[in-house]
Structure 1
Amino acid sequence: MKKLAVVVSALVLVLCMSILLGCNFADAHGSTDEAPVEHRYYKSIEIQSGDTLWGIAEEYMNEKDGSIIEYIDEVKEINGLKSDDIQDSQYLTIAYYDTAFR
């Protein structure tokens, strides 16, 4: 009888500790307060009349890209551009961020 009481007490203690400590573990799916994860993608855009690299940078860049100048330099490098000149109907590959996983 004494052994049974000790075993039951031990089980109750283990159960209580599991409940108390389990409340402190992080949720495996993350908190809803966290910012969504942004993924970097590349796409081709067609240059329209009046488009500039500066305007494209303002439209597509993200704070993760650094400055507008850095983003423009990257676009030029990706597309093999030697100058800031772009032409109507020209296609450029640009980088952008999105929270949707594709």
Structure 2
Amino acid sequence: MNPELRVAVDVGCTRHRVAVGLSEGRLLEEFDIGHDAAGLNEFFARVERHERQWGLPVAVAMEGYNGYARPLDERVLLHGYRLFNVNNMKLARFKRALFTQNR
């Protein structure tokens, strides 16, 4: 596994919850941002600080449900970060199927 900075975004309609960590599993920071220009600026300022500190490529995983990820998802791509779209319904079904099989 190649080391990278991993950013997870729990998308909300007015606020987003963000976690930044390393691919090894170490959590570096958690914070909330507003769904507005100031929140987007804060998101990139904090992620860029970690990017400079660790010198690692950035991968961002976020929900894309109901369009609340916009414009954050577009700006993530413009920054050259890898973007993973997480479908919560499919993830929940996968977890349910996986854990049901293993019982």
With the shorter chain as reference, the TM-score category is under 0.3
Determine which structure has greater relative contact order: mean sequence separation of CA pairs < 8 Å that are 6+ residues apart, divided by chain length.
1
**Normalising to structure 2: TM-score of the pair?**
0.21
Higher share of residues assigned strand: 2
